[in-house]
Amino acid sequence: MDKNNALQEMADEIHQNAVDHGWWEEERSFPEIIALCHSELSEALEAYRASRPMLYFSCWRSNNKFCIPGDDCEYQNEGLCTRTDGERGKPGGIAVELSDCIIRILDYCGRAGIDIGEAICLKHEYNKRRPWRHGGKVV
């Protein structure tokens, strides 16, 4: 599958899910979308500052416990903390907060009709031609 198409399909699917769950009953402004992206990145930073695992699941059977895939947990089933009906706990951690930001971006792209896959490929190709540290930038 073409990378551009796969990303566009994901944006369309993510946007449709947001519509189906009521997040676009009223139009959202671009500044609001950007603020929501910032909030997800801030949550990733806070997870880092709190030394949270990169990825974990909230334990359904033990308050204030995280279940990290691969770790021993008396409540885990097949490496994941699950309820008796097989449902996983809520995922959390830095990786999840970063994915929340990407999901918000893809949702907006789906709404606005932005071909984000093409835009990323165009920008990446341009970046490959840029000089070392873009001419000496420090950060």
Domain presence at residue 126? yes
Return phi, psi of residue 82, to 5°: -135, 155
Domain assignment of residue 32, yes or no: yes
Which residue is it, tokens 């009906």?
85
pLDDT tens-digit profile, the chain (139 residues): 466 689 999 999 999 999 999 999 999 999 999 999 999 999 999 999 998 888 887 765 555 566 666 555 555 544 445 555 556 677 889 999 999 999 999 999 999 999 999 999 999 999 999 988 887 777 7
Q: Please report whether residue 79 resides in a domain.
A: no
pTM reported for the whole predicted model: 0.80
Residue 67 within any structural domain of the chain: no
Name the domain count of the chain: 1
* CA-angle at 130, arms to 40 and 2, nearest 5°: 60
The burial of 9, by beta-carbon neighbours within 10 Å (0-12 exposed, 13-18 middle, 19 or more buried), is given as: middle
Beta-strand runs (E) in 15-134: 56-58, 66-67, 76-77, 80-81, 91-92
Query: Is residue 8 in some structural domain?
Result: yes
Q: 8: domain range? A: 3-55+93-136
Residue 101 carries which side chain, given as an amino acid letter? C
76-77 vs 66-67, strand pairing mode: unpaired
Q: Is 41 a member of any domain?
A: yes
40 lies in a domain? yes
Is 71 among the domain residues? no
Decide: residue 106, CB within 10 A, 0-12 exposed, 13-18 middle, 19+ buried: buried
